[in-house]
Structure 1
Amino acid sequence: MPTDLLLISFVGTGKQSTFRPITFHEEDLDFHATELPTFVDNPELSLGTFVSSTPYTGNGLPPSHLSKDFLGWNSPHYWEDPFSDSALFAHISLVREGHLTIHFAIKVVLHVDDDPRSRGFNVYEVLRREAVFYAHCLPTVQGDAVPRHYGVWEANTSWAGHVVISVMEFSGWSWDRQIRGTKHDTPETRMKIARALQKIHDAGAENGQIEPGYEHHLLYDWRSGKARIVDFTHGHTHTCERQVPLKPYRAQFRFGPPFCGELTRLGRILGFDGPHTFLTEDAEVLDAITFLKKYLEEHPAVSRQEALDAQEKYLKDEWRLVGPEVRRLESGRCMDYEDFFK
């Protein structure tokens, strides 16, 4: 089978659908789907057919919540839901004896047509915009802070008309729905989530949907130990003005310096703020900001990102875990958080 074809059997349809990559031109970018690593790394697997999970919605509900009423992907129940105006979600798996099972995450749009008033057309446009955003704004963090995006694919089917999917690296489970409160919800896990968003901001992008009620955009895979941020349908370019690393502090998080709004919201969601004074009055934060300003003055040729990296190294060197508290080595000031700079 050619490597530019993707075979998927959507459960409940009794059909195998052949997907081909979509190439389109937008914003001075020729966008085309990337070859799946399945075909690049394991050519013998290209003869296999992926099997989909049951569909689920974008609010982080696992497929099992819907499976008891599942009538097949061709059931109008999943497409005519008046409360859903986004793509359907699923994962696809390729199981071959003697090989590891390969998973991808997909967003699915059924009954796509050329009518700008139709739901299928508009949801497809959302997927296309997100794909372009991944290519334009997130290339340096794909596979790290965000999943790898393998493009937009299409197939004409007998069970749902013109079907369009986005194929992405499978990146774990919703922190809010499936990780929080479990043994995997550790300070280290929360710090990895914070680091993921900070890397995205450092790369010049913003998710646009990090706020209470949208924690399902925070994913964690306990098998690989990686955290990812997903859903950039509202993503945009961003010049972040953070002045300190996003991590736990003993002070309250308020909107404004030393973070941008999105980092502040994530810090609150992750429980990084403490009961004491505002961050702008916190001793450690003031110390870190003073270092950053001095470093930029003394090294005018360095970028702000290089200065922030130096600041983080300074904090790592100057603060350490001493018993149950973190103390600054020289002054002895105490902090109530764990040492996340290990």
Structure 2
Amino acid sequence: MKLLFIADPLQSFKIYKDTTFAMMREAQRRGHTLAVCEPQHITWQRGSKVTARVCDIQLTADPVQWYAAQPERRAPLASFDAVLMRKDPPFDSEYFYATHLLEQAERDGARVFNKPRALRDHPEKLAIMEFPEFIGPTLVTRDAADIQRFHAEHGDIILKPLDGMGGMGIFRVGPDGLNLGSITETLNRHGAQSVMVQKFLPEIVEGDKRVLIIGGAPVPFCLARIPQGSEARGNLAAGGKGVAKPLSTRDWEIGNALGPVLQARGLLLAGVDVIGDCVTEINVTSPTCFQEIFDQTGCDVASLFIDALEAALTASAP
């Protein structure tokens, strides 16, 4: 197969932990060819198919010069067997427009994973509200008075922006309500921007678990991102420690319930974040943790992913 990865610049990859790199490595091991581009390299001209300036690459065994690239060329996205959208958040206006270009590429005949419409229609924080039986007390609002009432009811709360990533912009306000007004003003921009507010889940001390869903099925191991020191956030980007664990009974229940729904929407890969027994986010843009789980458990998540990708392409072959 010819695979095109739409991703951040290769120079920014930390290959010892990068999930996109793990996907590439497994795909190349199976004999598939690799090409890469960034979202800004995609072009759609009147009367033409969606194309991109791409580089064909081959992975090397050198941990520093880890790939060899051919000269850049222009190619229709539909000329690849699969296009994998692996650009990291934020989900800003340019990401939004990229999903429209990718959707047109689908009309040209491209196979895109995850599906661009599913990426666009599945906001990673808001998506949990569709599954109330699996989430804790949660509020989405712009209204400062709503937030104050939620705090009065639950006492210890977490506030976060809807477009954050890596733990960015997450605040905890305890029963004393210290700085609740100031934090609300910072996040909702005086009523101009929506905020997610959730009851604080003390089980965070055991980790914010990333449960991976591939091809509608949960991976048997999750990565618990455990906060360090006085930090309330478990995100690896915020200094959390990643510990791989077998899925709990509740994790399996969540994964088996959400997996078929997400797959039916065109989400080949999703990362469901679970604290205790509660889902807190459903990540679909570029879920990670493949290598951390493999390094600690031997569960080859990248192989499971390429299996699912090959099966999806075979199932849709004419």
TM-score, normalised to structure 1, is 0.23
Larger Rg: 1
**Relative contact order higher in (CA < 8 Å, ≥ 6 apart):** 2
TM-score, normalised to structure 2, is 0.24
